[in-house]
């Protein structure tokens, strides 16, 4: 059976409709559509830009459309709403696409679905936008929370909270960084390669695309390449795809060969395999996850990377009875979180979260911390990490844990495990480090390293 031939805009529209109607995650759905599509690399990049950009700018696009749609954009059918958002995104944010082409293609999409009336609506709305002088104060000099929400395309509650926590200037940098394209980075597998050798290999296949990471000694930063799984060395297990900030978690654990460790929320296995690599594949790691279907991902990653010391277990981190037999040298809890540090990679997050959601996830994190800490031997290490910026899930969570568990203390030696670049830019307090999205163009992350003293 031949694959259905659709344009980049058709693929993007299909994904956007499914995201709204089915609540699907854009990154997973887009990958699924692209895997089935014969689009050229250039058109794949366009489809990706259109999907992520339209979702990133959702509230701003709707605010603008409400000025030209008689009863407001919410009165339209979901597919029509997404069609107009898609067309307006190209006009308002993509300078490299001619206005005439953006309008024409949007109208053709409507006609292709058999709706001449909708084609007329799309043509009228988009041309009205182009005729408007658009003297909106939030475009030039946003002042209020509402104006910042429109200028940076974030929900108002998130803008307000970031300003409360970080101050206006840093909040602005975070908000703007969230709309930048996500970076791509690889972690070299020292069991099968070294960074210098892999950099040379990548230079042959993609000249100028690869450079060493400043954050992690195993990291490589990539620009302008397609799917990393198609790169030379992936199938041979020479590297895995991982964000640079995420690589710092295993650096903070600092495991040694021959030790025993527990990764309490391990899927899909990126941090688990990093720990095993740092242990030179000697010792034992028990990798747990509550989702049975995700355990297969851990197993696939360990096999590809040539790792044999990981034991995969189905378990809930809130109760590890029967899974762990004796205390470990180290325990990692990469906790479920609100994900506010990975918005540039998963733009859906900012429209799906509410401030009340954070209280619920923070309560879950407390339960998990209280459970997994029992499995740290005296003198052992407990590392807690999240990919969020919210203090209730990070610094405040750790302070509350220490009040309830005096047998643990923050390890001031964490700073010695971080690279000079991280020390220079990140926010570091004794035993804790916080990386914001604009620091390195990587994910926002929080890591705390604790030691059990009794």
What is the spatial distance between Cα 426 and Cα 38, in angstroms, rounded to a whole number? Answer: 42
Please count the residues of the chain.
Answer: 454
Q: How far is CA 7 from CA 55, 99, 112, 201, 213, in A?
A: 19, 18, 12, 34, 36
Does pLDDT of 1 surpass 50? Answer: no
Termini Cα distance of the chain? 64
What is the spatial distance between Cα 50 and Cα 15, in angstroms, rounded to a whole number? Answer: 10
Most confident range (mean pLDDT) of 205-219, 241-255, 311-325 is 241-255
The C-alpha angle 253, 257, 263, rounded to 5 degrees, equals: 40
Does pLDDT of 74 surpass 70? Answer: yes
Tell me the pTM. 0.94
Q: Closest by alpha carbon to 26, among 243, 346, 361? A: 346
What is the spatial distance between Cα 317 and Cα 208, in angstroms, rounded to a whole number? Answer: 43
Percent of the chain with pLDDT over 70: 99
Look up residue 133 and give its two tokens: 């002088």
What is the spatial distance between Cα 378 and Cα 317, in angstroms, rounded to a whole number? Answer: 20
Look up residue 202 and give its two tokens: 């990548």
Name the CA dihedral angle for 262, 266, 270, 274, rounded to a multiple of 10 degrees: 0
Q: Which residue has the tokens 């302070």?
A: 399
What is the spatial distance between Cα 419 and Cα 437, in angstroms, rounded to a whole number? Answer: 17
Burial class (CB in 10 A: 0-12, 13-18, 19+), 66: middle
Which of residues 429 and 30 earns the better pLDDT score? 429
Q: Is 387 labeled as catalytic in the residue annotation?
A: yes
β-pairing verdict for 310-314 and 427-429: unpaired
Determine which one of 265, 337, 373, 387 is catalytic: 387
Determine the angle formed by the axes of helices 8-22 and 26-35, rounding to 10 degrees: 140
pLDDT for res 116: 80
Span 241-251, average pLDDT = 97
Instruction: Read off the pLDDT of residues 177-186 as tens digits, 9 standing for 90 and up.
Output: 999 988 899 9
Identify any residues that bridge with 239 across adjacent strands, giving them in sequence order: 188
Instruction: Read off the pLDDT of residues 91-137 as tens digits, 9 standing for 90 and up.
Output: 999 999 999 999 999 999 999 887 889 999 999 999 999 999 888 98
Look up residue 371 and give its two tokens: 């459970």
Span 83-92, average pLDDT = 97
Confidence of residue 140 (pLDDT cuts 50, 70, 90): confident
Does pLDDT of 437 surpass 70? Answer: yes
pLDDT for res 4: 60
For residue 350, the surrounding DSSP H or E stretch is helix 349-352
What is the spatial distance between Cα 86 and Cα 68, in angstroms, rounded to a whole number? Answer: 15
Q: How far is CA 77 from CA 53, 65, 74, 192, 305, in A?
A: 21, 14, 8, 53, 47
Confidence of residue 205 (pLDDT cuts 50, 70, 90): confident
Describe the chain by its helix, strand, coil percentages, rounded to 5: 50, 15, 35
CB of 15 closer than 8 Å to CB of 29: yes
pLDDT, the chain, mean = 94
Q: Which residue has the tokens 């929080």?
A: 446
Q: Which residue has the tokens 């995104």?
A: 89
Sheet holding 184-188, edge to edge: 210-212, 219-222, 184-188, 239-241
Q: What's the Rg (C-alpha) of the chain?
A: 24
Q: Could you count the other beta carbons within 10 Å of the beta carbon of residue 170?
A: 15
Walk me through the domains of the chain, giving residue ranges and CATH numbers. Answer: 8-133 (1.10.940.10), 184-241 (3.30.70.1170), 244-452 (3.40.50.150)
Instruction: Read off the pLDDT of residues 329-359 as tens digits, 9 standing for 90 and up.
Output: 999 999 999 999 999 999 999 999 998 999 9
**281 φ, ψ (degrees, to nearest 5):** 60, 35
Instruction: Read off the pLDDT of residues 264-297 as tens digits, 9 standing for 90 and up.
Output: 999 999 999 999 999 999 999 999 999 999 999 9
pLDDT for res 33: 86
Does pLDDT of 168 surpass 50? Answer: yes
Does pLDDT of 12 surpass 80? Answer: yes
Percent of the chain with pLDDT over 90: 82
Span 420-440, average pLDDT = 97
What is the spatial distance between Cα 56 and Cα 181, in angstroms, rounded to a whole number? Answer: 10
Span 152-175, average pLDDT = 97
Does pLDDT of 156 surpass 60? Answer: yes
């Amino acid at each position: 059976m031949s694959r259905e031939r659709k344009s980049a805009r058709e693929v993007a529209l299909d994904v956007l409709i499914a995201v709204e109607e089915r609540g699907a995650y854009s990154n997973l759905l887009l990958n699924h559509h692209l895997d089935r599509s014969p689009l050229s690399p250039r058109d794949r990049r366009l489809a990706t830009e259109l999907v992520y950009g339209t979702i990133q700018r959702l509230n701003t696009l709707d605010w603008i459309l409400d000025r030209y749609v008689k009863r407001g954009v919410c009165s339209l059918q979901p597919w029509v709403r997404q069609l107009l958002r898609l067309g307006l995104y190209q006009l308002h944010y993509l300078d490299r696409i001619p206005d005439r082409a953006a309008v024409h293609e949007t109208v053709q999409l409507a006609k292709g679905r058999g709706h001449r009336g909708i084609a007329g609506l799309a043509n009228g709305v988009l041309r009205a936008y182009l005729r408007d002088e658009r003297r909106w104060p939030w475009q030039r000099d946003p002042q209020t929370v509402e104006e910042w929400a429109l200028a940076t395309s974030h929900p108002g509650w998130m803008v307000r909270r970031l300003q409360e926590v970080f101050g206006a200037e840093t909040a602005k940098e975070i908000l703007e960084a969230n709309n930048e394209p996500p970076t791509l980075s690889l972690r070299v597998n020292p069991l099968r390669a070294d960074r210098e050798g892999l950099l040379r290999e990548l230079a042959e296949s993609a000249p100028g695309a690869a450079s060493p990471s400043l954050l992690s000694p195993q990291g490589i930063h990539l620009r302008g390449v397609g799917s990393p799984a198609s790169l030379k060395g992936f199938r041979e297990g020479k590297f895995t795809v991982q964000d640079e900030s995420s690589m710092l978690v295993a650096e903070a654990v600092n495991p040694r060969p021959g030790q025993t460790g527990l990764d309490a929320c391990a899927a899909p296995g990126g941090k688990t395999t990093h720990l095993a690599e740092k242990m030179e594949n000697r010792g034992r790691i028990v990798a747990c996850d509550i989702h049975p279907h995700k355990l297969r991902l851990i197993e696939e990653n360990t096999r590809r990377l040539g790792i044999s010391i990981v034991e995969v277990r189905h378990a809930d981190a809130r109760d590890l009875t029967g899974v762990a037999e004796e205390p470990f040298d180290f325990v990692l809890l990469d906790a479920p979180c609100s994900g506010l540090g990975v918005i540039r990679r998963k733009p859906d997050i900012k429209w799906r979260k509410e401030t009340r959601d954070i209280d619920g996830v923070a309560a879950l994190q407390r339960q998990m911390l209280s459970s997994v800490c029992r499995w740290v031997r005296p003198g052992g290490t407990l590392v807690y990490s999240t990919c969020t910026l919210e203090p209730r899930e990070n610094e405040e969570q750790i302070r509350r844990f220490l009040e309830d568990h005096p047998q643990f203390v923050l390890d001031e030696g964490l700073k010695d495990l971080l690279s000079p670049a991280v020390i220079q830019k990140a926010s570091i307090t004794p035993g804790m480090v916080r990386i914001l999205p604009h620091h390195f163009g990587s994910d926002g992350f929080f890591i705390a390293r604790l030691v059990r003293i009794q």
